[in-house]
Amino acid sequence: MPLLGVNIDHVATVRNARRTDEPDPVWGAMEAELGGADGITFHLREDRRHIMDRDARLLRETVGVKLNMEMAIADEIVAIAVDLRPDQCSIVPERREEITTEGGLDVVRHHQRIASAVERLRETGIVVCAFIEPTEAQIRASADIGFQSVELWTGGYAHAKTPAARDTAIEALRSGIELGRSLGLVVHGGHGLTYRNVAEVARLPGFCEFNIGHSIVSRAIFVGMREAVREMKRLLTTHGS
């Protein structure tokens, strides 16, 4: 059964909208943990638009489940990660003008720069994961570079406009999981997953974990974080293989 990593960035988005101290993403992480989250994910962006350095430090001190830090390979951020020692670093592409992470990292194109960041993080014992599109080239390049895991971008499935496009995206994920696992990678999934669409990807055999943020934080506004996480866990338990 796939595990659930809860991305708490958007608790910080609400806080930062008023430049105040509530809601606190550290509290959000604790509530998520109490609701059954298997991991907590945060993205320390270079522009600090949601999670800030103080949050990252306190999350490291307080989170009792797996702590996953999403990050770009900027030198400043890599240095913070090395110092912080989250359990896992997920390398994502980052563009200042984007609303959220758009698509996966191009591991093939930025091979050299990514390889040195991966080496630096792995030396400290951090598990390093590549957030990539489910294509053969990106999966093979991730394994070659030394990533121990990949998070396959599920946005292609989540944003598909037609049943045919959805089927194509599901098949790409299915073969991506198979290839990744055959190369010794641990395979996760994430992006754009909601209470309505998670069942179909959860059914695919081989996903170890899903990272879900926006939909859970949105639901938490109405039912509270613990209950929102419980409901998502229930879907993964019911539909996950």
Ramachandran angles phi, psi of 94, nearest 5°: -145, 125
Closer of 33 and 209 to ligand PXP (Cβ)? 209
Q: Is 24 exposed, middle or buried (0-12, 13-18, 19+ CB in 10 A)?
A: middle
- Is the omega angle on the peptide bond into residue 134 within 30 degrees of 0, that is, cis? no
Regarding 92 and contact with ligand PXP (CB under 6 A), the answer is: yes
> Using CB under 6 A, which of the segments 29-37, 49-57, 185-193, 232-240 binds ligand PXP?
185-193
From 35, 134, 180, 213, residue interacting with ligand PXP (rule: CB under 6 A): 213
Instruction: For the CB of residue 217, give the shortest distance to ligand PXP in the complex, in Å.
Output: 8
70 is catalytic: yes
DSSP-assigned letter for residue 24: -
Closer of 149 and 215 to ligand PXP (Cβ)? 215
Instruction: For the CB of residue 91, give the shortest distance to ligand PXP in the complex, in Å.
Output: 9
CB 95 within 8 A of CB 102: yes
Question: Scanning residues 135 to 164, which ones bind ligand PXP (CB under 6 A)?
Answer: 151
In a 13 Å sphere around the CA of 137, the CA atoms on its Cβ side amount to 8
Residue 231 CA to residue 223 CA, distance in Å, equals 10
User: Beta-carbon neighbour count of residue 37 at 10 Å?
Assistant: 29
Regarding 94 and contact with ligand PXP (CB under 6 A), the answer is: no
Question: Given the rule CB under 6 A, which residues bind ligand PXP?
Answer: 7, 9, 43, 70, 90, 92, 100-101, 131, 151, 190-193, 211-215
**Which amino acids are annotated catalytic?**
43, 70, 191
